[in-house]
Amino acid sequence: MSAVTDTDAHATPRDRLTRARALHWLLAVALLLACLASLQIGASDVRITGLLASLARGEALSQMERVVLLDIRLPRLAMGMLVGAALAVSGAAMQGLFRNPLADPGIVGVGAGAGLGAILAIVLGALLPTWLTGITGNQLVPFAAFLGGWGSTILLYRVSTSGGRTSVATMLLAGIALGALAGALSGILVYIADDQQLRDLTFWGLGSLAGASWAKVLAAGPMILAAIAAALMLGRGLNGLALGEATAAHIGIDVQRMKSIAILAVAAATGAAVAVSGGIGFVGIVVPHLLRLASGPDHRTLLLNSALLGATLLILADVIARTVIAPAELPIGIVTAVLGAPVFLWILLKRRGLVLS
Amino acid sequence: MTLHAENIRVSYGRREVLAGVSLIAQAGEVTAIVGPNGSGKSTLLGAITASLPYKGRVHLNGQDIATLRPWELAAQRAVLPQASHLAFPFTVIEVVRLGLQSGAAGDRSDVPLRALARVGLAHYSDRSFQELSGGEAQRVMLARVLAQVWAPIEDGTPRWLLLDEPVSSLDIAHQLQVMQIARDFTQAGGGVIAVMHDLNLTALFADKVAILAGGECLASGAPCEVLTDVILSRAYGCALRVSAPPPAGIPYILPHAASA
Amino acid sequence: MTRWRCRLAFFAMIGALLGSDPAQAQQERDILSIGGTVTEIVVALGQQNRLKARDTTSRYPPDVTRLPDVGYMRALSPEGVLSVGPSLIISAEGAGPPEALDVIRGADVDFVEVPDARDGAGILRKIEVVGDALGVPERADALEAEVGAALAEAIKTADRPEAGKKRVLFILSTQGGRINASGTGTEADAIIRMAGGINAVTEFEGYRQMTDEAIGLAAPDVVLMMNRGGDHGIADDDLLAMPAVRLTPAAQTRSIVRMDGLLLLGFGPRTAEAVALLSRAIYGDGP
C-alpha cells in the first residue's frame, strides 16, 4: 500500500479542519468568479457587463448576444462545472477507496469502456439500423460512450465481487486486463477506420466542451449531481478505510456497502462526464492531491472541496481553450494536460525529500 | 454479561487452523489467549471480531454477532489490530478521532485527547501518524480503540476491548502502562480479551487464561491453573518451568517487580 | 455645355465600370470558406474580397492564409465562428461537430454544403453550388465551361492504350516505417486514372496500411506522394531504402513523384493542371 507523507501535518488539527472548512467558502467564491469570467470572456465581443448595461437601459439582447450567451457560453459553463466536479470527486473517491493517491476515476473501467464505446460509434456508426440512430440522433457517440462506461464498470464489479465481498485488489488487476482488451478491440477498429474517423477519434480522446448543449446538460446533469451527492456521503467511511478494510469494519463502517456506492457513483459521474465531453485528463488526479496538500486528507471536507475546485479549474481551462487560438479552439484535454502535468510533477518533486512508505 | 465463542472452526483452504475452540470471557475480567506461533490465537480473535469467515457461534452480551450490523458491533466492542496501516497522512489526533462513532459531534468531543493522554501521548496529537515509531503507533491505535468505547459500561451493558498483541512493540514501561489500562477498564466493568505473547505479563494482569496449540484449546482457567510446567511445555514444545529461580549470575527482570 | 456632357459621360462610364458586377456592388466581407478547394473556387469566381475567414486546409492562393483561421473543420468552435461574423458559410462536406453547426445556424448564419467530388462532373457541381451561394451564377457557368474544357483536354492528352499504362502507388504516409497506401475509391485513385495511370492497388477501398509483401506484389512503376511542407515527408533515399519499396520497379528507376496535396487531391479548378503535371511526371514529356 503506497502512501506519501505530507509536509504540514504540524498545523493543529483544529486548524486543518478549520482550514478545510474555510476552503469551502473560498472555493465557492472562486467558482463564482470563474463562472463570471466564463460568461464574460470569449472569442466574440459579447461581454456580460455590456449585456447587463443594455438590459438596465431597457434594450433587448441582439440575436448574436442571445446565441452567444444562452446557446454557447451558458451551456458550456454548466457542462464545465458538472464535468469538472464529477471528475474531481470521482478521483478523490477512488483514491480513498483504493487507498492510493495515484488512483484516478478510470480505475473502475469507465475510461476504457467509454473509449471503446465511442470508437465503436465513430467507426461502425454507419452500420447501425436507422431506427436506432433515429433515437440517438447525432448523439450516437455520447450514448455509446456512456453505455460502454457502464458496461465495463459492471463487468469489473462482477469479476471482483464474490461472496458479497468486493476485492479492490482484484478490481485493480481486472481493470488492467479490461484495459488491454479494450485497447486491442480499439486497435482493430482504428485499423478499419478511415481518415476522417481517425481524426474524430483523436479529437474525442482529447476532450472538448465545444459540443455543449442544453440537451446534453439536461441529460448528464441530474445523473452527475446525484452521483456527486452520493459520493459526498462517503466521507467518514473513506476516512476509516485508510486504516485498512478490517479495521474500517471494526469501527462500524459497512465496507461493502461503501464500496458499492463509491463504485456506482464514480461510474455514473465519470461515465456521464466522459460521454458528453470526451477524455479529459488530470483533473481526477491533480485536484484531490492539491487539496490534500492544502488542508489534509479528511474525506469529509476533501470530497466537497474537490467538487468545487474541479469545477472551477475546468471552467478556467475552457476559457483558455476557446480564446487562446481564436477563432479556432484547442481541445480542452490539451489545456488540462499542459497545466496539469507540471503541477503533478511539482507535487511529486516537493515530496521527494520525505518518506515514501 | 459475557463474550461466548462456541466451537469455532476456521480453515484457510484445506488447512484447518482452528479445530473447534470454545471460549467464555466474563465482563470485569481480563481474559488472555496465549500459545505458540501458528496456534490460531489471532485467528480466534479474528473470528470473535467477525473479521474472517468461521463456523460456530459467537455471542456478545447475549447477541449472536452474525446478526449484528457493523455499527451495532462497533458500539459494543473495539478491536486493536496487530499491525497498524494508514494510507493517508492523517495526524495522530485525527486517527484517534476515527474511533468515534458519531461524526460531527466527535470533532468537538474531548474524548480523543483524553484517550491520548491515557496512553501518554497527548503531546503528540498534532504529529503526522506516519512519522511515529512502531511502539508509538501502537499506543495511538490503543487510544483510538479506547476512544471508541470510552465508557466501560454503557446503558448497563459492558463494553469490550479485543486486543491483538497490544504490547508487542512496546518497551517494558509502556507494556506495564498498557496492561494497567486494560486492568482499569475491567475494574470499571468492561471486558477485555487480549492475545498475548508475553507469559509474564499474562500472569501479572490476566484474570483468565486460555492456551491454544495446534488449533485447539489445551486448557483454560485461572493463570495459576493454566500456567503450569506440564501445560506450557506441552503447548510450546520445549521444557518450561514455572516460578523456578534462574541460574545464579545472570540478571533477570520481571514485570512483577516493577513499580511506577 | 459639351465639356459638361463629356465629364458626365466620363463619370457615367466610370460608374458603369465600377457598378458592372451587381454582386460586387456591396464589397462587404461576409463569407467564411471551409475546405481548401471551396476557397479556391471562391477566389476563382472573383469573390476573394468577400472572404472574411477560412479554415486550416485553405492554403491556395497563398494570400488567403492571411485571413483568420477557424481551425480544423470537423472541430469548429461555435463562438469562434460567430466571432468572425460571417453571414454565409460555404463548406466542404463533413464540417462539425453537429452541435456547433446547430448553434451557428441558430444565429441566422446561412450554411451551404458543397458535395465532395472525384470526377469532372463533381468538380463542375462544386463550382455550381458555390456560384449559386455567392449569387454569381453567370461567372460560375463561365468557370465551369473553362474548367470542364481544360480537364477534358488534359484527360484526353494523358490517355494511352492499356498496355502502355504505368502502375502508380499513392503513399499517404510512412509513419513508423509502415506504409499507408491508397486503394480504390479515393481522390488519389481517381486522379491517377485521370492522368492515364493504373492504381497499383485494387484489393481494397480507402487508405490502408499495407504489408511489405503486398507492396512487392503491387509492383508499382511509380510512387506518388504528397509534398509535405518543411521536412515532414520522408526523403527519397530513405523511402527507396525501405524493404517494402526497395525491390519494386519504381525503386529501380527511382521514380518518385511528389505533388502538392491540395493541388493533387483537391478536385477543384486546378485539377486539369494537376492531371497534366501528374501525367508528365509519370510518363515524361513524351506521349
Q: What is the pLDDT of residues A288-343, one digit of tens each?
A: 989 998 888 999 999 999 999 999 999 999 999 988 988 888 899 999 999 888 98
pLDDT, tens only, C252-264: 898 999 999 899 9
Question: Is A257 an 8 Å CB contact of chain C?
Answer: no
Q: For residues B181 and B175, what is the distance between their CA atoms, to the nearest angstrom?
A: 10
Question: Is C108 an 8 Å CB contact of chain A?
Answer: yes
Q: Do chains B and A touch (3 or more CB pairs under 8 A)?
A: yes
What is the chain A residue with the closest CA to C32?
Answer: A327
pLDDT at B2 over 50: yes
- The residues, ordered by sequence, that sit 6+ positions from B149 with a Cβ below 8 Å of its Cβ are B76, B77, B78, B159, B160, B161, B190
Question: Is C75 an 8 Å CB contact of chain A?
Answer: yes
Mean pLDDT of C157-175: 89
Mutate to test the interface with A, among C32, C67, C74, C79 (most CBs of A within 10 A): C79
Question: Is A211 an 8 Å CB contact of chain C?
Answer: yes
pLDDT at A24 over 90: yes
What pLDDT is recorded for position C19?
47
Mean pLDDT of C266-276: 93
Q: C252 in helix, strand or coil?
A: helix
User: Which amino acid does the sequence have at A33?
Assistant: L
How many CB pairs lie under 8 A apart between chains A and C? Answer: 95
Q: For residues A243 and B137, what is the distance between their CA atoms, to the nearest angstrom?
A: 12
Question: Is A29 an 8 Å CB contact of chain B?
Answer: no
DSSP state of B247: P
- The residues, ordered by sequence, that sit 6+ positions from A238 with a Cβ below 8 Å of its Cβ are A93, A96, A97, A258, A262, A299, A303
Per the structure block, which three cell numbers stand in for A97?
Answer: 477507496
What pLDDT is recorded for position A310?
96
Question: Is C9 an 8 Å CB contact of chain A?
Answer: no
What pLDDT is recorded for position B101?
66
Top-confidence residue, C8 or A198:
A198
Mean pLDDT of C161-186: 88
Per the structure block, which three cell numbers stand in for B20?
Answer: 473447534
pLDDT, tens only, A90-103: 999 999 999 988 88
Q: For residues A244 and A246, what is the distance between their CA atoms, to the nearest angstrom?
A: 6
Per the structure block, which three cell numbers stand in for A5?
Answer: 507523507
3-state helix, strand, coil in chain B (%, to 5): 35, 25, 35
Residue with cell 465519470: A270
Per-residue burial over A80-119, b = 16 or more CB atoms within 10 Å of its CB, e = otherwise: bbbbbbbbbbbbbbbbbbbbbbebbbbbbbbbbbbbbbbb
Q: C182 in helix, strand or coil?
A: strand
**CA triplet B232, B238, B240: central angle to 5 degrees?**
50
What pLDDT is recorded for position A355?
42
pLDDT at C16 over 90: no
Question: Is A71 an 8 Å CB contact of chain C?
Answer: yes
Residue A327 with chain C: CB contacts under 8 Å? 53, 68-71, 77, 80-81, 83-84
Mutate to test the interface with A, among B79, B86, B88 (most CBs of A within 10 A): B88
Top-confidence residue, C268 or A56:
C268
User: Which amino acid does the sequence have at B253?
Assistant: I
Residue A71 with chain C: CB contacts under 8 Å? 78, 103, 106-107
Query: What percent of chain B lies above the pLDDT cut of 70?
Result: 96
- Chains adjacent to A (≥3 CB pairs closer than 8 angstroms): B, C
**CA triplet B106, B111, B116: central angle to 5 degrees?**
120
Q: What are the E-state strand segments in chain C?
A: 31-34, 51-54, 88-92, 110-114, 167-173, 179-182, 198-199, 207-210, 222-227, 256-260
Q: Is A252's CB within 8 Å of B90's CB?
A: no
Q: Which pLDDT band holds residue A1 (cuts at 50, 70, 90)?
A: very low
Q: How far apart are the first and last CA of chain C?
A: 67
Peptide bond into B53 cis (omega under 30): no
- Chains adjacent to C (≥3 CB pairs closer than 8 angstroms): A
Question: Are B162 and B142 contacting, i.e. CB atoms less than 8 angstroms apart?
Answer: no
What is the chain B residue with the closest CA to A14?
Answer: B107
Q: For residues B172 and B256, what is the distance between their CA atoms, to the nearest angstrom?
A: 11
Mean pLDDT of B50-70: 91
Q: For residues A322 and A80, what is the distance between their CA atoms, to the nearest angstrom?
A: 13
Please, what is the average pLDDT of chain C?
A: 86
Q: Is C108's CB within 8 Å of A63's CB?
A: yes
User: Which amino acid does the sequence have at A126?
Assistant: A
Positive or negative, the Cα torsion across A16, A22, A28, A34? Answer: negative
Per the structure block, which three cell numbers stand in for C214?
Answer: 503486398
pLDDT, tens only, B88-122: 999 999 999 888 865 444 556 788 999 999 999 99
Q: For residues C281 and C258, what is the distance between their CA atoms, to the nearest angstrom?
A: 9
ipTM: 0.89
pLDDT, tens only, A108-162: 888 889 999 999 998 888 788 877 777 777 788 888 999 999 899 999 999 999 8
Out of A16-25, A123-132, B2-11, C45-54, pick the least confident. A123-132
C89, C92, C98, C104 alpha-carbon torsion, rounded to 10° = 0
- Helix residue spans in chain A (DSSP H): 13-40, 48-56, 63-66, 74-97, 110-124, 130-136, 140-160, 168-192, 195-206, 214-232, 235-241, 245-250, 255-277, 283-295, 299-323, 332-350
Residue A237 with chain B: CB contacts under 8 Å? none
DSSP string, A130-183: HHHHHHHTT-HHHHHHHHHHHHHHHHHHHHHEETTEE-HHHHHHHHHHHHHHHH
Q: A231 in helix, strand or coil?
A: helix
Q: Do chains A and C touch (3 or more CB pairs under 8 A)?
A: yes
Q: How far apart are the first and last CA of chain B?
A: 32
pLDDT, tens only, C231-257: 456 788 888 888 888 889 998 898 999
Per the structure block, which three cell numbers stand in for B22?
Answer: 470454545
Question: Is A291 an 8 Å CB contact of chain B?
Answer: no
Q: How far is CA C57 from CA A202, C50, C54, in A?
A: 18, 18, 8
Q: C283 in helix, strand or coil?
A: helix
Among candidates B78, B93, B131 on the partner chain, residue whose Cβ is nearest the Cβ of A13: B93
Q: For residues A244 and B84, what is the distance between their CA atoms, to the nearest angstrom?
A: 8
